[in-house]
Structure 1
């Protein structure tokens, strides 16, 4: 997977960056995504994610993870139409994930597991949203959270 990771905090360790790369590549393989699939992860503090949460979701508080899926259907967007006679081999960009490093640490402490497990949980959670999974009803929640647990357990980030 083509993965861009941006650390806006300038405080994230190389080990955490490697964990993000490894767990997302593992999750991509688990879902059998094409190798040229693209996405990004931005690591930020509570203040930055608070502003994004307020602007895009109308929620005036920080959150742990926000996903922006590129492939969501937006009826107001003009579609890109490529000529039929041209051959294009474009990678599939699935979107962007934003994670609050502050929330990773807070929630790991509260839940009694390692910050690495919480970081893995949040990036996989955001990753599944980018791939069309959601938890808006009980059935969807059971499917998404079950898959999330399968991926994290198989990767080795058990609770």
Structure 2
């Protein structure tokens, strides 16, 4: 697992946050039984930057807490005749980018009455599930995604 972290904001202190994000990603991948080496990019931004991204990519002119940008779809690939491909991929598969507004995460942690670390972990788990192909547009999809989020947060010891 390769995690690239880019802190592009100065409003919220990130001391102690990197292990929280790394563990949230690791546990989500384990829970989803992802065995391939993967790469995930995580960017910490402020409300101003995420508002611009939200407007550009989703047409919504307001800040949000997290945005997910999947880079590939997870599909099982079967090799012809069960033989290995001559050119086997040697690196980590880049699965996508996560952009978290730490400013919004801090606001939400206070609003919901839990720790900032718990909020960032939840946003990371939520976004990772999006990168792995889950969505919450339909009620049934939302139910499945919420159950997975709760199970992963419990494994992280961060259940509400």
How does the TM-score come out when normalised to structure 2? Answer: 0.87
SS at the partner of 1:99? strand
Matching residue of 1:110: 111
Matching residue of 1:126: 127
CA distance in structure 1 between the partners assigned to 2:111 and 2:88 by the alignment: 52
CA distance in structure 2 between the partners assigned to 1:29 and 1:47 by the alignment: 33
CA distance in structure 1 between the partners assigned to 2:36 and 2:9 by the alignment: 29
> Which ranges of structure 1 fall in alignment gaps of 5 or more residues?
74-83
> Which ranges of structure 2 fall in alignment gaps of 5 or more residues?
75-84
Q: Give the direction of change, closer, same or farther, for the CA distance of 1:35–1:111 in structure 2 (3 Å limit).
A: same
**Mapping 1:11-22, distance limit 5 Å:** 11-22=12-23
Matching residue of 1:80: none
How does the TM-score come out when normalised to structure 1? Answer: 0.87
CA distance in structure 1 between the partners assigned to 2:143 and 2:18 by the alignment: 29
| TM superposition shift of 1:27 | 1.4
- Report if the CA contact (8 A) 1:45-1:100 is conserved: yes
What is the total number of aligned residue pairs between the two structures? 149
**Mapping 1:1-159, distance limit 5 Å:** 1-10=1-10, 11-34=12-35, 36-72=37-73, 85-159=86-160
